[in-house]
Amino acid sequence: MSLPRTAREQFGMGAEVAPGDLQKGDLIFFRTYASYPSHVGIYLGNNKMIHASSKDRRVVVSPINTYYYRSRFIGAKRIVEINPDIFKFDDLLLGVEEETMDDVIANDSLGLTQAK
């Protein structure tokens, strides 16, 4: 399967998904440094995503239910060709570390803290 390189271009693909209907494999989009979609992750279920951390320049698993990601969330898309019954998501996780809450907060370049 082929997707455009940038989050901005990827946001124009697929079917829109309501936040409460996320399924493993959905692409989730955020506005991080720009007014348009500038960051994308793949939803893994259990309120977690796999994505490229711009701060650490590595692929990580992060919780999406933090203030940082909730406040920047702009939508989710489902790409029909990414079927969670066929695609082996566990293969994505090989060698990938899960971020701690401190890592998530440290990645917030605006210095915001997680809401209690």
For 56-108, how does the pLDDT look when each residue is reduced to its tens digit (9 = 90+)?
A: 678 888 999 888 899 999 999 998 776 666 666 676 666 677 776 676 666 65
Q: How does DSSP classify residue 96?
A: P
**For position 43, what pLDDT does the model report?**
94
36 domain residue, yes or no: yes
pLDDT higher than 50, residue 110: no
114 domain residue, yes or no: no
**For position 9, what pLDDT does the model report?**
96
17 domain residue, yes or no: yes
Global pTM? 0.77
72 domain residue, yes or no: yes
Number of domains composing the chain: 1
Contact indicator for 114, 68 with CB cutoff of 8 Å: yes
